[in-house]
């Protein structure tokens, strides 16, 4: 991210293409290949796991990317008063463009792999419930209510 910023500072006409850079690491090109072998006797299960793993990682990374961008936006105007507002607005517009690209990507994943994305949501929900239960038990333990 910082290397992109320094390049853009040198030439403000260059866009901050964070999501394009990020999505290049997903490796989703191979998902179709893996799913093509899902019914193979020896490697079918492995191929399914690899495809699901790639989709899961892409989905998780993209949602975190969107959340991070949303967190940064309000801080840009407040924490960088020494930068001209026009330039900050340009960066905010570019951040919005990256968020839009990421949201389109998420929609495409949900449309293309609905069962896998449903499993991702189920796993997320399970993790949240378990973390809440763990924190509640820790609180009860700290209070001396349970052994």
- Residues 65-78: tens digit of each pLDDT: 999 999 988 887 77
pLDDT of residue 7: 46
Q: What is the DSSP letter of 11?
A: -
Residue 9: per-residue pLDDT: 55
pTM of the model: 0.73
Residue pair 55/31 in contact by the 8 Å Cβ criterion? yes
CA atoms 67, 68, 69, 75: torsion sign: positive
Inform me whether the pLDDT recorded for 133 exceeds 90. yes
pLDDT at 23 over 90: no
91-61-137 Cα angle (round to 5)? 120
Q: Are 32 and 96 in contact (CB under 8 A)?
A: no
Of the candidates 5, 2, 1, 17, which has an alpha carbon nearest to the alpha carbon of residue 87? Answer: 5
Residue 119 has pLDDT above 70, yes or no: yes
Domain ranges in the chain?
Answer: 2-112, 114-147
**How many residues appear in the chain?**
147
Share of the chain above pLDDT 70, in %: 90
Nearest to 58 by CA among 89, 29, 36: 29
> Please, are residues 31 and 49 in contact by the beta-carbon 8 Å criterion?
no
1: pLDDT strictly greater than 50: no
């Amino acid at each position: 991210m910082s290397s992109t910023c320094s390049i853009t500072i040198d030439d403000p006409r260059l866009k901050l293409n964070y999501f394009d850079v990020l999505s290049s690491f997903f490796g989703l090109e191979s998902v179709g290949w893996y799913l093509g072998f899902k019914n193979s006797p020896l490697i079918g299960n492995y191929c399914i796991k690899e495809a699901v793993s790639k989709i899961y990682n892409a989905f998780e990374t993209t949602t975190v990317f969107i959340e991070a961008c949303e967190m940064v936006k309000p801080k840009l105007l407040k924490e960088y008063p020494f930068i001209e507002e026009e330039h900050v607005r340009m960066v905010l517009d570019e951040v919005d463009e990256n968020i839009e690209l990421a949201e389109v990507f998420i929609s495409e994943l949900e449309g293309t792999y609905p069962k896998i994305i449903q499993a991702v949501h189920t796993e997320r929900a399970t993790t949240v419930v378990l973390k809440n239960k763990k924190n509640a038990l820790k609180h009860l333990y700290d209070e001396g209510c349970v052994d």
